[in-house]
Structure 1
Amino acid sequence: MVIPAQRMTDRIGMALMCIVGLGIVAELIRNPNFEWGVVFSYLFEPAVLWGMGLTLWLTIASMAIGLVLGVIFAVMRMSARTWLRVPALLYLWLFRGTPLLVQLIFWYNLAFLYPDLRIGLPFGGATLYEGSVNDLITPYSAALLGLALNEGAYMAEIVRSGIMSVDHGQQDAGRALGMTRRKVLLRVVLPQALRIIIPPTGNQTIGMLKTTSLVSVIALYDLLYAVQTIASRTFQTIPMLIVASLWYLVLTSILSVIQSRIEAHFNAKSSGAH
């Protein structure tokens, strides 16, 4: 029996991959420094699960706000009106041009710039709100501000690319039917742009899940901060980092499956439309 060269190469490659993989797994099991017993004992620790819950909440909330901001600033950036386009460009320039970690620390320390906040009616009218900025800018609100505003800048470019992918004739057809610009955008352009917007949005969501680990620097009790707190008490740094890594892998895997299902749905819908 003659085996084609390509099939033989594939078999050799698979055999080598299995040997290397088994060697890595064996090393992970044999090395006592990984302390797998400790890892599994803390995997479902209530404090770790609480931190994981906060990580998920931050991911969902930041992406939701970022998506709304992305649509708004994408439309503003594409506007013919200078007073709309320039603020959008400045927003993108600022939040895409500075590190997210710096932004988080800035929002967390906003009270150093503005210790007190007063909101009132113009021209000496009644005061609607007056209080300390420290009461408003908690670690939660600082994290949400930093993550959402930063994500909004990146989502704006994703949404803009999706809008630009829609044939301009579709907009002309909508206006010919008497639709306003707003209705054309909401009913014609955005639904067609979703097929382009969704894949990178899924990638951004997975990236956001991992990016939330940065909030540990402002003492927010997310997944990473939870395992760091336990490690500082037990001095078992490596096992606790493995606990965090395992949960991040589980969550990103779930999000990847959801993303692929959503993409398949929109691709099937698009194919059916054609």
Structure 2
Amino acid sequence: MKFDWDYFWQSLFTPSESFLNGLALTIVISIAAMALALILGLLIALMGRSRFVPLRIFASLYIWIIRGTPLLVQLVIIYTGFAAANLFRFEDLTLGLRLEDVTVGILIKGAVQAAIVALMLNESAYISEIVRGGLESIEKGQTEAALSLGMTPLASMRWIIVPQAIRVMVPPLGNSFNGLMKSTSILSIIGVAEMFQVGSSMSAATFKVFEIYIVVALYYLLLTTVWTIIQTFIENWLNAKAGLPKAESVWKRLFGFRSKRDRVAPKSPIADLEGVAA
């Protein structure tokens, strides 16, 4: 069987409406799950740093269980298991406004809701560890100094610790979001019509398996590449605000190419000492 180049280029540059809808759903689910995971992950991290033992135990158990079980298993339990046990069932939900006799809104299917919840819970466990590491990277003396000036623990966290820790947390958080976007491909197991599911349906209908899955892979690559560029700009912006050198360039991060800035060797402190001695 020959590779159908005409079908490949057509699917790549003029994708069908269903494929574009799957691409859009992949992006929406990724952003929604990541936003919720950031909030929950921050709460879990703060609970792990709490003075109250029950909160610390809960945070530790949560991280242990979520990180110790596969995302696919969690997804099936949340969507299928809970419904089979009559504990909870995700029903289709319509968000919108009712204008006279017409309702204008967005239909969110139950499978999409379960997908967002599962991704949020799974990602929040990893984010909580990222947040914990970022907060612990700040010297404790800064918290003590803030408290000695009359600031409350919450205020010192809000105005002193978190702004500095964000710069440390951005790179691993960006990598987590990259991984989350790729993890959406397993949502097809519960019938979510994201990009991979649409691609699978297209390959089954046309028998163009190799062509379709390469197109799907390239679109995932496009999504992660765009996010890598955005992440690089965010890191450079935070470094500029802190008066630090820029992070590595986009070209180096993506392809290993070094710009002139990357090729400039850092100034050695030994050279400085030799200059002083001379």
- Asked if 2 retains the 8 angstrom alpha-carbon contact of 1:105 and 1:218, the reply is yes
Alpha-carbon offset, residue 236 of structure 1: 1.0
- Local SS of the residue matching 1:271: coil
Q: Aligned equivalents of 1:134 and 1:154: distance in 2? A: 25
User: Counterpart of 1:247 in structure 2: which amino acid?
Assistant: Y
2:106 aligns with none
- Local SS of the residue matching 1:34: coil
Alpha-carbon offset, residue 183 of structure 1: 1.2
Give % identity.
38
Question: TM-score, length-normalised on structure 1?
Answer: 0.79
Q: Does 1:217 align with 2:189?
A: yes
2:133 aligns with 161
Alpha-carbon offset, residue 178 of structure 1: 1.5
- Work out which of the residue numbers 117, 121, 139 in structure 2 matches 1:149: 121
- Work out which of the residue numbers 115, 137, 143 in structure 2 matches 1:171: 143
1:254 aligns with 226
Q: Does 1:62 align with 2:43?
A: no
User: Counterpart of 2:151 in structure 1: which amino acid?
Assistant: M
- Local SS of the residue matching 2:51: coil
Q: Does 1:48 align with 2:4?
A: no
Q: Aligned equivalents of 2:2 and 2:38: distance in 1? A: 43
- Local SS of the residue matching 2:86: coil
For the pair shown, the structure with the greater C-alpha radius of gyration is 1
- Asked if 1 retains the 8 angstrom alpha-carbon contact of 2:22 and 2:193, the reply is yes
- After TM superposition, the structure 1 = structure 2 runs for residues 95-134 of structure 1, keeping only pairs within 5 Å, are 95-109=66-80, 110-114=82-86, 133-134=89-90
Q: Which string of whole-angstrom CA distances, capped at 9 and with x for unpartnered residues, describes residues 183-241 of structure 1?
A: 11111111110111000011111111111111011110000001101111111111110
1:94 aligns with 65
Q: Which string of whole-angstrom CA distances, capped at 9 and with x for unpartnered residues, describes residues 86-119 of structure 1?
A: 110111011100000000111111111125x6xx
Aligned Cα RMSD in Å?
A: 1.7
Question: TM-score, length-normalised on structure 2?
Answer: 0.78
Alpha-carbon offset, residue 159 of structure 1: 0.3
Structure of higher RCO (CA pairs closer than 8 Å, 6+ residues apart): 1
Q: Aligned equivalents of 1:202 and 1:45: distance in 2? A: 30
Q: Does 1:39 align with 2:11?
A: no
- Asked if 2 retains the 8 angstrom alpha-carbon contact of 1:76 and 1:88, the reply is yes
User: Counterpart of 1:259 in structure 2: which amino acid?
Assistant: Q
Alpha-carbon offset, residue 42 of structure 1: 2.0
